[in-house]
Chains A and B, each alone.
Chain A
């Protein structure tokens, strides 16, 4: 054997030994509960999952009797219990009423961690970092825009939807027509929406009405791998796929006239809601981070009941680097929704002669260091929201000035056939570390949806209801049909009864571009 071959062999052996050593030391913990997971009633909208085994705290699920049967059908409650096993968790492991089976954390999961004793978990944020929703209000109403559900109105809506579909690239891996240089990308990653404003992409008004003013502090562009840049860089300004959408709606109910007025919402008004995130860039940041966090879990001896819950101490190098990369991906997502806003503004101007104003833009896949009251005293903690929306009450300093007298807008999209809601944060959200639900929550798997319906049936049924839909992928429309989701009114009702957020307005869809 030559010297070179010997060296090669030694190197290979060393690698194998390192891998074997790592495998031997990735600590594994038994899942505390297997379905059916017991739920003890706390009150009519709160249920406790008892602490046992590796759990460090109990679980709290927000739901009422009508939502419980669906919850018991999958492993989502097990996942609430699994999250409770993570070190340094503050308060209970929580699930909002749109909870459904995810990977690692449940979708609808909220968990906060102590900055000194706790961990950060990429699985608690998800692959689509800063997936979120922006609500835009137009200055025209449905009658003025002649989009009412007459045959002529439907045709006008169809043209509007077609134009949006053409203007906003959608579908997996779809790229933007815009080419941005490395310096601009770096600026976006580190500076988010305020940087986009310097390029003329956003207005002061846009920036003022976005969660965290469109920038998660502490972002570092160099914490993002070249693979993440390659994958996601060209996708800035694109919708993506799956449950992402751009939806034209009409305000059809106002429950809280004072808050609606503050948010600039009124009956009959045309709106646009954009649901998207950080695209392939965020997905790759999470993929990269999970590899690192598996190593970190071994290094810091953190027992895992599910590898997707891999994590590192918040104060560790690995934790810090993930938070830097996550913040950069989150900033990319803010800019992404802004660029789509601009494209939609062009379409609305051209088709309807209408302007679109940003009502608010919320993150629902994020981990942020926030101040909340813990054991009676204010404390900074790391709040993971995996499919949950921040919901701050009135007078909170982080609520935009224009809304501070009523509370933060909480945007809760429903399915594409029924309605969505605009809520406002209430004082009761203190118990959820300022968090509410983020949507309707699925009840049917995609496979089950396809077995029950054909694409053409879904499109026709929606059109009969006055909703024009265009989709980028062959399967998405049927997989995303309204019956695949809970009735978002039931979900919103639970957070309202729980005092977490209250209803301001309801929006009925009339046109939807699906990813």
Chain B
């Protein structure tokens, strides 16, 4: 589950997942929704993704920036992320992205430059994991 929060200059995002893995997967979905809006996306290709960071907050920022990089360099937008392995310290994961390269003329909702570290959280609780991100538009 995710929702966009008001932020005067940029855009903020709050994500909830039942597990840390689910929170990462949902964060990917939220970021794609931010950029693509309601544009129809299909699962035409699968690609592996592996990221390392300092901790969970840094990892979720790295995930966001990796998705923006893939979009800007290849126009690749995933419909979903599957996390196959998340380290116990939540500082690295391996997974797969399912999605497609979208055409240049596909109308998109909104630009995004980067996912910032400002107030970035990856808060793992016994019953759920909460993510908070601020995105520079």
Interface residues of A (CB under 8 A from B): 15-16, 19-20, 22-23, 26, 73-74, 76, 100-104, 107, 123, 126-128, 171-175, 227, 230-231, 240-242, 280, 283-284, 286-287, 290-291, 294, 306-308, 310, 442-448, 473-476, 479, 515
Contact segment of B18-26, B41-49, B68-76, B123-131? B68-76
Which residue among A100, A287, A306 has the maximum number of chain B CB atoms within 10 Å of its CB?
A: A287
Verify A307–B107 contact, CB threshold 8 A.
no
Q: Looking across the interface, which residue of chain B has its beta carbon closest to that of A449?
A: B6
Task: Name the residue of chain B whose CB is nearest to the CB of A479.
Answer: B110
Name B8's closest neighbour in chain A (CB-CB).
A101
Does residue B136 face the partner (Cβ distance < 8 Å to A)?
A: yes
Known: A172-B35, A242-B113, A473-B110. A100 touches B9 (CB 8 A): yes
Residues of A within 8 A of B89 (CB): 16, 19-20
Bound-complex Cα distance A55 to B112 (A): 32
Q: B88-114 toward A: CB 8 Å interface, digit per residue (1/0)?
A: 010100000000000010011111111
Interchain nearest-CB distance for B124 vs A (Å):
14
Contact (A476, B72) CB under 8 Å given A74-B8, A446-B11: no
- Among A22, A104, A172, the one with the most B-chain Cβ atoms within 10 Å of its Cβ is A172
**In this assembly, does B2 line the interface, its C-beta being within 8 Å of a C-beta of chain A?**
no
B6–A231 CB distance below 8 A: no
Instruction: Please measure, in the bound complex, the distance between the C-alpha atom of A479 and the C-alpha atom of B8, giving whole angstroms.
Output: 11
A173 to B117, CA, bound (A): 22
Query: Most chain-A CB neighbours within 10 Å: which of B55, B65, B72, B108?
Result: B72
Known contacts: A127-B114, A172-B35, A287-B65. The answer to whether A294 contacts B58 by CB under 8 A is yes
Task: Say yes or no for B14: interface residue by CB 8 A criterion.
Answer: no
A sample of 9 more A-B contacts (CB under 8 A), given A103-B9, A103-B10, A283-B68, is A19-B91, A101-B8, A102-B10, A126-B136, A242-B111, A442-B9, A447-B5, A473-B109, A473-B111
Question: B residues touching A (Cβ–Cβ < 8 Å)?
Answer: 4-11, 35, 37, 52-55, 57-58, 62, 65, 68-69, 71-73, 75, 87, 89, 91, 104, 107-114, 116-120, 134, 136-137
Question: Lowest 9 A-B CB distances belong to which pairs?
Answer: A241-B111, A172-B111, A103-B118, A445-B6, A307-B117, A103-B116, A308-B118, A173-B72, A101-B8
Which of A76, A103, A442, A474 has the most chain B CB atoms inside 10 A of its CB? A103
Chain A minimum-CB-distance residue to B34:
A475
A447 and B4 contact, Cβ closer than 8 Å, known pairs A19-B91, A104-B118, A294-B58: yes
Contact of A294 among B5, B54, B114 (CB under 8 A): B54
Residues of chain A within 8 A of B136, CB atoms compared = 103, 126-128, 283
When distances are taken between beta carbons in the complex, the residues of chain B under 8 Å from A20 are: 89
The residue in chain A whose Cβ has the minimal distance to the Cβ of B7 is: A445
Contact between chains at B110 and A290 (CB < 8 Å)? no
Is the Cβ of A173 less than 8 Å from the Cβ of B114? Answer: no
Residues of A within 8 A of B111 (CB): 171-173, 240-242, 473, 476, 515
Contact A100 B113, beta carbon cutoff 8 Å: no
When distances are taken between beta carbons in the complex, the residues of chain B under 8 Å from A127 are 113-114, 116, 136
Docked-complex contact B8 and A442, CB < 8 angstroms: yes
Tell me, rounded to whole Å, the shortest Cβ–Cβ distance linking A24 to chain B.
10
Instruction: Verify A101–B9 contact, CB threshold 8 A.
Output: yes
Q: Is the CB of B87 within 8 A of A474?
A: no
Q: A290 to B104: give the CA distance in the assembly, Å.
A: 30
Instruction: List chain A residues, Cβ under 8 A from B117.
Output: 103-104, 123, 290, 294, 306-308, 310
Pairwise interchain contact B65-A307, C-beta atoms closer than 8 A:
no
Asked if A306 and B119 make an inter-chain contact with CB atoms under 8 angstroms apart, the answer reads yes
- Say how far B84's CB is from chain A's closest CB, in angstroms: 16
Judge whether B73 and A231 touch: CB under 8 Å. yes
Name the residue in B8, B89, B113 with the highest tally of chain A Cβ atoms < 10 Å from its Cβ. B8
* Interface contact A473-B118, CB-CB below 8 Å: no
Q: Would you call A475 and B37 a contact (CB within 8 A)?
A: yes
Given contacts A103-B118, A240-B111, A242-B137, contact A231 B72 (CB under 8 A): yes
Assess whether B72 is in contact with A448, with CB atoms less than 8 Å apart: no
Report whether A19 and B54 are in contact in the complex, using a CB–CB cutoff of 8 Å: yes
Between A and B, 27 residue pairs with Cβ closer than 8 Å are A19-B54, A19-B91, A23-B54, A74-B7, A100-B9, A101-B8, A107-B9, A123-B117, A127-B114, A128-B136, A172-B72, A172-B108, A172-B110, A173-B75, A173-B111, A175-B104, A231-B73, A242-B113, A283-B68, A283-B114, A308-B118, A444-B8, A446-B11, A447-B5, A473-B108, A473-B111, A476-B110
Given A23-B55, A287-B114, A476-B111; A445-B8 close (CB under 8 Å): yes
CA distance A182 to B115 in the complex (A): 28
A310 to B72, CA, bound (A): 25
Chain A residues lying within 8 Å of B35, measured Cβ to Cβ, are: 172
Give the distance to chain B from A491, nearest Cβ to Cβ, in Å.
15
Residue among B11, B55, B91, B117 having the largest count of chain A Cβ atoms under 10 Å: B117
Q: In the bound complex, do residue A307 and residue B120 qualify as a contact, i.e. CB atoms below 8 Å apart? A: yes
Contacts of B73 in A (CB 8 A): 230-231, 280
Q: Which residues of A contact B7 (CB under 8 A)?
A: 74, 101, 445
Q: Chain A nearest CB: distance from B114 CB in Å?
A: 4
* Residue in A15, A172, A448 whose CB lies within 8 Å of B6: A448
Q: Within 8 Å CB of A240, what residues of B?
A: 111
